[in-house]
């Protein structure tokens, strides 16, 4: 269940990002979400991070399966969604303790693997990359469709 401030109900991690969110005033005075296209090297979409989106982010954090052992923190292709939630999200996952003001979700649609990565920054700025158990492909595909509109 989503514990993010003002959450009305729990949501599925793949809840669609509807076009109306583009026009919504920023929730929480600073919550933002950006979709970065790694191949193009640019932000393809920037929208307010709604309560529903922050709840989805909270569900991804709860779905962490462990630390990534890859030496490469960032993908060479695909997409990164940066979500800044206000107030910060809380976590009790292994290997990370403290509030999460922003997170970076990495997805490569050309990969045969459905495993995605989640980058979190420790309060001192050190990055930690986690593996997710959920297939976030359907969620990311909706974001990409919105970016191309």
| 41 pLDDT tier (thresholds 50, 70, 90) | very high
Pull the structure tokens for residue 135: 């297939």
Q: Which residue has the higher pLDDT, 36 or 85?
A: 36
For the ranges 21-35, 70-84, 98-112, 133-147, the lowest mean pLDDT is seen at 21-35
Question: In the prediction, which pLDDT does 80 show?
Answer: 92
Q: How far apart are CA 139 and CA 126, in angstroms?
A: 27
What confidence tens digit (pLDDT) does each residue in 9-26 have?
222 322 333 233 333 343
Question: In the prediction, which pLDDT does 148 show?
Answer: 64
* HEC readout, 76-120: CCCEEEEEEEEEEECCCCCCCCCCEEEEEEEECCCCCCCCCEEEE
Question: In the prediction, which pLDDT does 11 show?
Answer: 28
Measure the CA dihedral 80/12/49/28, to 10°: -140
Q: Which residue is associated with the tokens 């600073």?
A: 30
Beta strands in 90-147 (DSSP E): 100-107, 117-121, 127-132
């Amino acid at each position: 269940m989503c514990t993010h401030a003002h959450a009305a109900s729990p949501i599925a991690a793949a809840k669609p990002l509807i076009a109306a969110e583009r026009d919504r005033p920023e929730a929480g005075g600073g919550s933002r979400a950006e979709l970065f296209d790694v191949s193009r090297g640019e932000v393809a979409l920037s929208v307010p991070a709604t309560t529903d989106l922050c709840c989805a982010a909270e569900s991804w954090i709860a779905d962490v399966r462990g630390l990534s052992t890859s030496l490469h923190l960032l993908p060479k292709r695909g997409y990164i969604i940066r979500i800044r939630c206000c107030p910060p999200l809380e976590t009790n996952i292994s290997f990370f303790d403290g509030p999460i003001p922003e997170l970076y979700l990495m997805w490569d649609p050309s990969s045969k693997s459905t495993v995605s990565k989640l980058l979190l920054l420790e309060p001192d700025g050190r990055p930690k990359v986690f593996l997710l158990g959920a297939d976030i492909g359907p969620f990311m595909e909706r974001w990409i469709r919105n970016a191309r509109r």
